[in-house]
Chain A
Amino acid sequence: MANEVILLDFWPSMFGMRTRIALREKGVEFEYREEDLRNKSPLLLQMNPIHKKIPVLIHNGKPVCESSIQVQYIDEVWSHKNPILPSDPYQRAQARFWVDFIDKKMYDAQRKVWATKGEEQEASKKEFIELLKTLESELGDKPYFGGDDFGYVDIGLIGFYTWFGAYEKFGNFSIESECPKLIGWAKRCLQRESVAKSLPESEKVTEFVSELRKKFVVE
């Protein structure tokens, strides 16, 4: 029986990007469906009744929710090529730790960089740069977070790179000058076909954030 794979997603979502990348890494054919988050489809509400969020992966009619869980699922179902998680239990635990760190810390921290101004924004910028430096320190001199091979943590983080232009514009700072190695890593990831095909243009994301910012910040 052929696999039917549908991805309910929203184009600027750094979480949706993870799942797109994972599917492409494995060469899985899938149907991408754009959701309007102000008018969620009945299918989204039915497939993710608990959180009502994207991305939702629907595999042969059965939903998998939460991006990091989806990436792990994709790795386990299509286990024949391009392993995403390492095989060693300790290395796996390290990879999970860092994606958990990204999940717990990055989203809220980055949001405050573009959705605030003044003193609150200054404090948010500092916090955000600290997070990026922690990640950069973990990357070290390795080409990817997983070492020589592109993997779980790289997939977990790369989507945020498309939002860097927005952070820099509204935060008025340069991420490259603070974290040059991280930028080098991001550019390396973008050379990968699965990533290049899954990430929107940075300028489009910045435009999107610009509209969004108007709702939160009165200039």
Chain B
Amino acid sequence: MADEVILLDFWPSPFGVRARIALREKGVEFEYREENLRNKSPLLLQMNPVHKKIPVLIHNGKPVCESMNVVQYIDEAWSDKNPFLPSDPYQRAQARFWVHFIDTKLYEPADKIWSTKGEEQETAKKEYIKALKVLESELGDKPYFGGDNFGFVDIAMTGYYSWFEASEKCGNFSIEPECPTLMASAKRCLQRESVVNSLHDPEEIVAFAFKIRKIYCV
């Protein structure tokens, strides 16, 4: 039986991007469905009744929710190529730790950079850079967080990399002088075929960020 894979998503979402990249890394054919987040589809509400959020992966009619949970599922369901997680349990635990760090320490500051101004935004920028520096220290000299190979942590970060330019423009700051080696890894990730095919132009994301900034940041 052929696999039916549907992804409910929203084009600028740094979380949706992770699922798209993961599917393309595995060469999985999928149907991308754009959601209007101000008018969520009955399918989205049915498939993710608990959080009502995208991305939702629907594999042969069964939903998987939460972006990094989706990425892990993709890794396990299509385990024949491009493994995202290392095979050693300790290395896997380390990868999961860093994804947890990314999802708990970057989310709020990144959000506040585009949605606030003044002192609140300044604080958010500082927190964001501080967290990025911790990540840069973990990256060290490696081309990717996964070592020589693009992996689980890189997929998680690429969502945020896709918003770097938007964050910089909204916050009027530059990430590269603060985190040069992280930026080099980001550029490497952003050039990957699976990533290029999963992202809109950075200018479109920047334009989107400014559009929503007008709504949230009076």
A residues neighboring B (CB under 8 Å): 50, 59, 62, 64-66, 69-70, 72-73, 76-77, 89-90, 92-93, 96-97, 100-101, 134
- Residue of B whose beta carbon sits closest to that of A96: B69
Q: A64 touching B90 by the CB < 8 A rule?
A: yes
Within the assembled complex, what's the spacing in Å between the Cα atoms of A77 and B92?
A: 11
Q: Which residues of A contact B117 (CB under 8 A)?
A: none
Q: B96 touching A72 by the CB < 8 A rule?
A: yes
**B interface, by DSSP: helix, strand, loop or mixed?**
helix
Q: B101 at interface (Cβ–Cβ under 8 A)?
A: yes
Q: Which residues of B contact A70 (CB under 8 A)?
A: 93
9 shortest interchain CB distances as A-B pairs:
A89-B76, A76-B89, A93-B73, A73-B93, A93-B64, A89-B77, A64-B93, A69-B96, A77-B89
- Residue of B whose beta carbon sits closest to that of A87: B76
Within the assembled complex, what's the spacing in Å between the Cα atoms of A59 and B91?
A: 13
Place the interface of chain B in its size category: 20 to 34
Q: B168 at interface (Cβ–Cβ under 8 A)?
A: no
Q: Which residues of A contact B65 (CB under 8 A)?
A: 97
Q: Which residues of B contact A69 (CB under 8 A)?
A: 93, 96-97, 100
Within the assembled complex, what's the spacing in Å between the Cα atoms of A106 and B207?
A: 36
Most buried by A among B69, B72, B134: B69
Q: B2 at interface (Cβ–Cβ under 8 A)?
A: no
Q: Which residues of B contact A62 (CB under 8 A)?
A: 90
Q: B72 touching A93 by the CB < 8 A rule?
A: yes
28 contacts across the A-B interface (CB closer than 8 A): A50-B101, A64-B93, A65-B97, A66-B96, A66-B100, A69-B97, A69-B100, A70-B93, A72-B92, A73-B90, A73-B92, A73-B93, A89-B77, A90-B59, A90-B62, A90-B64, A92-B72, A92-B73, A93-B70, A93-B72, A93-B73, A93-B76, A96-B72, A97-B65, A97-B66, A97-B69, A101-B50, A134-B50
